[in-house]
Chains A and B, each alone.
Chain A
Amino acid sequence: MPDHEGNGHSIIAKYLRQDRLPHIWCPACGIGPALNCFLRAIDKSGLDPDKISVISGIGCSGRVAGYVKLDSFHTTHGRAIPFATGLKLANPELKAVVFSGDGDLAAIGGNHLIHAARRNVDMTVICINNFNYGMTGGQVGPTAPYDVRTSTTPYGNFESPFNLPLLLYASGATYIARWTVLHLHQLENTMTEALLKPGFSFVEVISPCPAVYGRMNKEPEGLDSLKSYEKRSIIKNGADPKDVGITQNGPIIVGKFIDVDRPTLHTNLAVVAERAKKQVKNS
């Protein structure tokens, strides 16, 4: 939020490529508010923006990389995380942030997501979850609740969704939070914390997609989705990830679920590098 010196939008000017506006997202899309929070979180975090790289995959959320005034990489579908892993390992001074969608991160890139969490790479992953592939016209996503309508589940989704916080918890992520785009102050604070958290941090943002997903699920306006979040959201910090799965009309549990410490990949790599040098010296 704007501070009391009235610098609210100068933060936006500082980190947003305003010359690239209007952006490509549909009216009432949730990516804009999430990006807005992210830009403020960068400022709040006090990190050197020159050292932050934003890496995105493909899809609507993948286009975030093109709107931030930071080093930014728009990679291939699902591959933002391994790209970011290489970038971060090659220069540990950089802060790697992956900003992408649920399809990109959890379906085509699902393997990379769990392995990055397992390795505890120093990286923040922000996942816009709108339950579907918006850019290609609203096909079913890996997080789409059972029985929802999408352009490829016209009779109802017959699959079960990933519960992302549970998946990431099982994989070893050290920071896991979820908010909707109605919980913007919380989201901004969470993103700030995530940026500063050593190791793998994951922020899920439940976001409306009125143009395709909403239209097919009785939420044709973005406001319909926000009102639904308002009704269904329950803030439960520290909730057990196994209890936060999302159903079609059930509650949406939001909050910071996990914040634990374990050695990061970089600390562990430094240990073996020392060991290697010592062994070679002695041999």
Chain B
Amino acid sequence: MTDNGHLSGEFFINGDVACAEGAISAGCRFFAGYPITPATEIAERMSRRLPVVGGTYIQMEDEIASMNAILGASWAGVKSMTSTSGPGFSLMMENIGLGVMLETPCVVVDIQRAGPSTGLPTLVGQQDVMQARWGSHGSYEIIALSPDSPQHMFDLTVKAFNLSEKYRVPVLIMSDEVVGHMSEKVVIPEISAADLIYRKMPQIGSGPYHPYKADESLVPPMAIAGQGYRFHVTGLTHDESGYPAMTAAAQDRLITRLVDKIKTHADDIILYDEYMTDDAEIVVCAYGITSRIARYAVKLARQQGIKAGFLQLITLWPFAERRVRELASRVKTFIVPEINRGQIVYEVERCSCGKARSLSVPHSGGDVHKPETILAAIKECHA
């Protein structure tokens, strides 16, 4: 362990623990959460580690409180995180919207299980990905990442903190029960300050501070409580000064910027991985745990001489729209296996603009796809 409490080296840990360690390495020093399967191990790890590295762990009375507590902590200048699963994620929705509106950096981890309602608490699902995008009311853009392994959990948690600090937006890690609970080798690198991003602060003495006055990056500098700026922020529609502005014009100005600050930086935010797509006629598009099975199914298809390729979505939101459009212009079919009854497939279909067919390989949850199921779908399209 280093002086600042980061671990480094090789570990055999599960995805939840890797996520917690990623947060500590990223500089997260505040965690508020509520017990829920299959995310509890993140909270437990944080409760053990944070006091040692000078941070604060608190178990709140529910997920609504947890979400608000991390927003409050972020405004006190501390990188903060919460973790949950479907039912808790639903409870957090309203205040994820508050995070978007106040432009508050923070990270929310959803270890997805099968729903709706209590569903299958101990078994996998990928059913919250549309909720991640649209779950809070109103028009907004958000960032959501989808890890496929414990190592990925670590890496993407660090990435999530960097993105949230850079763009002043809650970043969602849309993991799932299998990734959360599987143990694999995780290499934790030495993380230096240069690897980490911290929110832009206002320049002291540069005139009156307007909490929501942005430059061309569209991301305003963020003061924190106690620095003497005596600023006001509100969940109401506001102008650059931070005060309520109850007009359609102010609403348009604010919402356009909130949306554009993510959209115009989509290329910086979006991550995806590809396998054998160069000459592919059929592309399997998957994310999270399903991507590991899909990749294997594509390998099997290639062995059988089928020109199949694989697109792994690492960033779910903003959606990898441009890449899917490019592929759609030259592939015949997209196959989208996901552990839900069809969510991301609609995005793929939208971006294909009718140029390529989109086929859903749904799964109700509780289990992952069998490679044969995906392979059968590839073969069916090939025939």
- Residues of A in contact with B (beta carbons under 8 Å apart): 17, 20, 49-51, 53, 55, 65-66, 69-76, 79, 81-91, 93-94, 111-112, 115, 269, 272-273, 275-277, 280
**Contact yes or no, A66 B234, CB < 8 A:** yes
**Contact yes or no, B72 A74, CB < 8 A:** no
Q: Interface on chain A toward B: helix, strand, loop, or mixed SS?
A: helix
Taking the complex as formed, is B56 at the interface, i.e. its CB lies under 8 A from any CB of chain A?
Answer: yes
**Contact yes or no, B51 A272, CB < 8 A:** yes
**Contact yes or no, A75 B230, CB < 8 A:** no
**Contact yes or no, B60 A69, CB < 8 A:** no
Task: Please indicate the chain A residues that have their CB under 8 angstroms from the CB of B65 in the complex.
Answer: 79, 81-82, 85, 111-112, 115
Known: A71-B226, A76-B95. A85 touches B58 (CB 8 A): yes
**Contact yes or no, B233 A277, CB < 8 A:** no
Q: Which of B211-244 contact A (CB under 8 A)?
A: 225-236, 243-244
A-B contact pairs, 10 of them (CB 8 A): A66-B234, A66-B244, A69-B230, A71-B231, A79-B65, A87-B75, A90-B74, A94-B76, A276-B48, A276-B52
**Contact yes or no, B230 A74, CB < 8 A:** no
A17 to B94, CA, bound (A): 29
**Contact yes or no, A91 B226, CB < 8 A:** yes
The smallest beta-carbon distance between B212 and chain A, in angstroms, is 13
**Contact yes or no, B226 A50, CB < 8 A:** yes
Taking the complex as formed, is B336 at the interface, i.e. its CB lies under 8 A from any CB of chain A?
Answer: no
Task: Please indicate the chain B residues that have their CB under 8 angstroms from the CB of A89 in the complex.
Answer: 30, 56, 58, 69, 73
Known: A71-B226, A82-B60, A272-B51. A91 touches B78 (CB 8 A): yes
**Contact yes or no, A76 B78, CB < 8 A:** no
Find the A residue at minimum CB distance from B58.
A89
Q: Interface on chain B toward A: helix, strand, loop, or mixed SS?
A: mixed
Taking the complex as formed, is B172 at the interface, i.e. its CB lies under 8 A from any CB of chain A?
Answer: no
**Contact yes or no, A87 B235, CB < 8 A:** no
A210 to B232, CA, bound (A): 29
- Report the interface size class on chain B: 35 or more
**Contact yes or no, A76 B226, CB < 8 A:** no
A73 to B48, CA, bound (A): 31
- Across the interface, B56 reaches (CB within 8 A) one of A53, A70, A269, namely A269
Task: Please indicate the chain B residues that have their CB under 8 angstroms from the CB of A72 in the complex.
Answer: 230-233
Find the B residue at minimum CB distance from A79.
B68
A72 to B235, CA, bound (A): 12
Find the B residue at minimum CB distance from A273.
B51
Task: Please indicate the chain B residues that have their CB under 8 angstroms from the CB of A277 in the complex.
Answer: 51-52
Known: A73-B233, A79-B64, A112-B65. A50 touches B71 (CB 8 A): no
Task: Please indicate the chain B residues that have their CB under 8 angstroms from the CB of A86 in the complex.
Answer: 30, 32, 68-74, 76, 80
A106 to B29, CA, bound (A): 30
Which of B64, B80, B229 is the most central at the interface, judged by chain A CB atoms within 10 Å of its CB? B64
- Residues of B in contact with A (beta carbons under 8 Å apart): 29-30, 32, 48, 51-52, 54, 56, 58, 60-62, 64-78, 80, 94-95, 98, 102, 225-236, 243-244
A94 to B98, CA, bound (A): 22
Known: A53-B226, A89-B56, A90-B73. A79 touches B232 (CB 8 A): no
**Contact yes or no, A280 B52, CB < 8 A:** yes
The smallest beta-carbon distance between B34 and chain A, in angstroms, is 11
A37 to B231, CA, bound (A): 21
A256 to B316, CA, bound (A): 54
A6 to B314, CA, bound (A): 64
Task: Please indicate the chain A residues that have their CB under 8 angstroms from the CB of B68 in the complex.
Answer: 75-76, 79, 82-83, 85-86
A89 to B74, CA, bound (A): 11
**Contact yes or no, B226 A51, CB < 8 A:** yes
Q: A86-B76, A115-B60 are in contact. List 11 more A-B contacts (CB 8 A).
A: A50-B226, A71-B231, A74-B234, A76-B94, A85-B58, A86-B68, A86-B74, A87-B76, A90-B73, A112-B61, A276-B52
Task: Please indicate the chain B residues that have their CB under 8 angstroms from the CB of A84 in the complex.
Answer: 72
Task: Please indicate the chain B residues that have their CB under 8 angstroms from the CB of A55 in the complex.
Answer: 72
**Contact yes or no, B80 A90, CB < 8 A:** yes
Task: Please indicate the chain A residues that have their CB under 8 angstroms from the CB of B234 in the complex.
Answer: 65-66, 73-74
Task: Please indicate the chain A residues that have their CB under 8 angstroms from the CB of B72 in the complex.
Answer: 55, 73, 82-88, 90
The smallest beta-carbon distance between A267 and chain B, in angstroms, is 13
Task: Please indicate the chain A residues that have their CB under 8 angstroms from the CB of B61 in the complex.
Answer: 82, 111-112, 115
A112 to B228, CA, bound (A): 28
The smallest beta-carbon distance between B102 and chain A, in angstroms, is 8
A272 to B29, CA, bound (A): 16
- Across the interface, A91 reaches (CB within 8 A) one of B32, B67, B76, namely B76
The smallest beta-carbon distance between B320 and chain A, in angstroms, is 32
**Contact yes or no, B77 A90, CB < 8 A:** yes
A112 to B65, CA, bound (A): 7
Task: Please indicate the chain B residues that have their CB under 8 angstroms from the CB of A74 in the complex.
Answer: 232-236, 244
The smallest beta-carbon distance between A117 and chain B, in angstroms, is 11
- Across the interface, A87 reaches (CB within 8 A) one of B73, B98, B230, namely B73
**Contact yes or no, B225 A71, CB < 8 A:** yes
The smallest beta-carbon distance between A241 and chain B, in angstroms, is 22
Task: Please indicate the chain B residues that have their CB under 8 angstroms from the CB of A87 in the complex.
Answer: 72-73, 75-76, 225
Find the B residue at minimum CB distance from A85.
B69
Find the B residue at minimum CB distance from A77.
B94
Task: Please indicate the chain B residues that have their CB under 8 angstroms from the CB of A275 in the complex.
Answer: 51
Task: Please indicate the chain B residues that have their CB under 8 angstroms from the CB of A66 in the complex.
Answer: 232, 234, 243-244
The smallest beta-carbon distance between A65 and chain B, in angstroms, is 7
Which of A50, A90, A273, A277 is the most central at the interface, judged by chain B CB atoms within 10 Å of its CB? A90
Find the B residue at minimum CB distance from A19.
B243
A196 to B60, CA, bound (A): 25
Task: Please indicate the chain A residues that have their CB under 8 angstroms from the CB of B233 in the complex.
Answer: 72-74
- Across the interface, A70 reaches (CB within 8 A) one of B32, B66, B73, B230, namely B230
The smallest beta-carbon distance between A211 and chain B, in angstroms, is 19
The smallest beta-carbon distance between B137 and chain A, in angstroms, is 11
